[in-house]
């Protein structure tokens, strides 16, 4: 180590040349930090970035054994017996990896992301130990590791439900790493993904039909809210179906684009009409094909489009808006949004002008609520100790207020959750907005059976969670339209 140069007196280039040959670790990181980056040549800067990337991989890999120490090498399943006095029966409730929520709150990531981290750590300290070692040496990055971890989930015996499956999976992982690791060390993430796909097919060619059948269970369609009034519609489906859908969208989009160009040519002397790119036409074509907008499909007659007798589908949107904004008495603030006054359920705050445009859209059926201390309907919200059952108006209010499960980091929609008493009814808890909140099934079970507690529950939906380890985590729901 440093037989040729003195790290304290040598040039930055000479030091970087030495560091590039060393195994990443604290010494390399500290010496790299001592380099004055402002005076580096472009060549030395590239070398610096290479060393930095290897050190980052090494440091990230140190988290793996600590994650296993926190969550244990094998998934832990805690069982709770719930007595049902009315039927004199007991129901068994199983909760896997209770530590997941403790870690997700402590590290401020979602529970699903944390479960993935736990599962990955268990694999890397077990059947994928060679991959972990390459990660530690800085030979591969976290992205390479993620590709390999995802791929081995398709190998036989992955669930490791018994000793036979565990042995089968261990052998398959050894074969997989022999085929993929060299490519991962030398190539890009895309190269690794191709090699992993080929390796799975070579190791378990007979299981392709099984994997295909299992993959069908992941088919789904969901919406991911974006910004500026846009959302991303994502669909996972069979490849042949996806290609067929895309072919139809492209055909419709090209026809729409052709019609738009002809119209623009005829009206060239008139007002300028915005020219849409093909991507915009695709987005409109998809909406037209699904919603049955005959005017949008005017250029698609005879190619499978819906007939003129088909009724368009209405889009139902839940809107929270205060009266002043609705009547244009109050509009956007300096940042373009009236905070807490305009909310599109599932998307969050949007510009008041956009929402007024929605009101004029005949294909968009809006459900509007003015959420103040009491909804504009006049329903009573504070039911005190008069009833345990939660009346529907109060349930609707809690759902609109919380928007999601009130466990920190959980994004489960409130309308798919249970409404829970923070202080249990049988312990004196009231049926009021201050004592009620939306909880998904898992987090409701954690609160009821697994040692998590809610304190400081307030009428605006805020609360404090105390974990079994005694740590406290605050939750604050996003603001909604409130009259002042």
pLDDT at residue number 334: 36
What's the half-sphere exposure (Cβ side, CA atoms, 13 Å) at 260? 20
SS in 3 state form for 292-348?
A: CCCCCCHHHCCCCCCCCCCCCCCEEEEEEECHHHHCCCCCCCCCCCCCCCEEECCCE
Q: String of b and e for 85-108 (b: at least 16 CB within 10 Å)?
A: eeeeeeeeeebebbbbbbbbbeee
Mean pLDDT calculated for residue range 174-199:
95
Residue 466 DSSP one-character state? E
Closest residue by Cα to residue 368 from 315, 317, 314, 313: 317
- Give strand pairing partners of 419: 438
Higher pLDDT among residues 479 and 91, named by residue: 91
d(C-alpha 61, C-alpha 394), whole Å: 48
With a CB cutoff of 8 Å and minimum separation 6, the contacts of 262 are: none
> Tokens 């499956």 map to which residue?
165
439: number of Cβ within 10 Å: 25
Q: Residue 132 corresponds to which tokens in the numbers above?
A: 């972990």
Confidence of residue 136 (pLDDT cuts 50, 70, 90): very high
d(C-alpha 374, C-alpha 392), whole Å: 14
Whether the per-residue pLDDT at 468 is higher than 80: the answer is yes
pLDDT at residue number 377: 43
Over residues 223-246, the pLDDT tens digits come to 887 877 788 999 998 888 888 898
Whole-model pTM: value is: 0.72
With a CB cutoff of 8 Å and minimum separation 6, the contacts of 324 are: 330, 341
Q: Residue 76 corresponds to which tokens in the numbers above?
A: 């832990």
Confidence of residue 271 (pLDDT cuts 50, 70, 90): low
With a CB cutoff of 8 Å and minimum separation 6, the contacts of 317 are: 344, 345, 358, 364, 365, 366, 367
Chain-centroid distance of CA 328 in Å reads 35
Whether the per-residue pLDDT at 45 is higher than 50: the answer is yes
Closest residue by Cα to residue 133 from 209, 65, 77: 65
Confidence of residue 372 (pLDDT cuts 50, 70, 90): very low
pLDDT at residue number 328: 57
With a CB cutoff of 8 Å and minimum separation 6, the contacts of 60 are: 135, 142
Q: Is the dihedral of CA 50, 53, 59, 61 positive or negative?
A: negative
> Tokens 């896997």 map to which residue?
96
Ramachandran angles phi, psi of 343, nearest 5°: -140, 130
CB 12 within 8 A of CB 45: no
Over residues 311-357, the pLDDT tens digits come to 444 555 555 555 555 555 555 443 343 443 445 554 555 565 665 66
Mean pLDDT calculated for residue range 465-484:
78
Over residues 407-461, the pLDDT tens digits come to 998 988 898 999 999 998 888 888 888 999 999 999 999 998 899 999 999 988 9
Q: Residue 47 corresponds to which tokens in the numbers above?
A: 């070398």
pLDDT at residue number 316: 52
3-state secondary structure of 475: strand
429: number of Cβ within 10 Å: 18
> Tokens 């007659």 map to which residue?
301
With a CB cutoff of 8 Å and minimum separation 6, the contacts of 300 are: 251, 252, 255
With a CB cutoff of 8 Å and minimum separation 6, the contacts of 205 are: none
């Amino acid at each position: 180590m440093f037989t040729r140069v003195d790290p304290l007196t040598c040039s930055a280039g000479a030091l970087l040349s030495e560091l590039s040959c060393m195994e990443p670790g604290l010494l390399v990181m500290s010496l790299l930090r001592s380099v004055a980056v402002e005076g580096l040549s472009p060549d030395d800067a590239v070398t610096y970035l290479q060393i930095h990337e290897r050190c980052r991989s090494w440091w990230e890999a140190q988290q793996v054994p600590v994650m296993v120490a926190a969550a244990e090498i094998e998934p832990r399943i805690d069982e709770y017996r719930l007595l049902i006095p009315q039927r004199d029966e007991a129901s068994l409730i199983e909760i896997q990896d209770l530590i997941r929520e403790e870690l997700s709150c402590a590290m401020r990531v979602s529970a699903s992301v944390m479960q993935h981290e736990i599962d990955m750590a268990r694999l890397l300290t077990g059947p994928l130990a060679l991959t972990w070692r390459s990660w530690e040496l800085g030979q591969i990055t976290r992205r390479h590791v993620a590709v390999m971890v995802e791929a081995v989930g398709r190998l036989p015996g992955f669930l490791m439900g018994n000793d036979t499956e565990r042995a089968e999976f261990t052998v398959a992982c050894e074969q997989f790493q022999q085929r993929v690791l060299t490519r991962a060390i030398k190539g890009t993430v895309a190269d690794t993904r191709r090699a992993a796909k080929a390796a799975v097919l070579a190791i378990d060619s007979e299981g392709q039909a099984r994997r295909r059948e299992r993959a069908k269970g992941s088919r789904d369609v969901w919406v991911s809210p974006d910004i500026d009034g846009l959302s991303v519609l994502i669909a996972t489906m069979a490849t042949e179906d996806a290609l067929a859908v895309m072919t139809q969208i492209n055909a419709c989009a090209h026809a729409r684009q052709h019609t738009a160009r002809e119209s623009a040519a005829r009206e060239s002397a008139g007002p300028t009409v915005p020219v849409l790119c093909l991507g915009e036409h695709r987005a409109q074509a998809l909406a037209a094909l699904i919603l049955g907008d005959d005017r949008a499909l005017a250029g698609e007659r005879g190619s499978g489009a819906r007939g003129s007798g088909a009724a368009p589908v209405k889009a139902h949107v839940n809107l929270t808006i205060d009266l002043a904004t609705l009547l244009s008495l109050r509009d956007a603030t300096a940042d373009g949004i009236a905070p807490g006054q305009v909310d599109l359920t599932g998307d969050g705050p949007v510009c008041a002008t956009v929402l007024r445009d929605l009101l004029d859209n005949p294909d968009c059926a809006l459900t509007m609520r003015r959420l103040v201390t009491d909804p504009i309907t006049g329903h009573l919200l504070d039911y005190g100790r008069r009833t345990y059952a939660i009346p529907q108006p109060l349930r609707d209010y809690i759902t609109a207020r919380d928007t999601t499960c009130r466990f920190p980091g959980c994004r489960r929609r409130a309308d798919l959750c249970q409404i829970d008493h923070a202080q249990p009814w049988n312990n004196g808890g009231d049926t009021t907005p201050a004592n009620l909140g939306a909880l998904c099934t898992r987090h409701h079970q954690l609160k009821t059976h697994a040692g998590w507690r809610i304190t400081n529950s307030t009428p605006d939906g805020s609360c404090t969670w105390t974990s079994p380890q005694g740590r406290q985590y605050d939750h604050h729901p996003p603001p909604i339209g409130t009259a002042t």
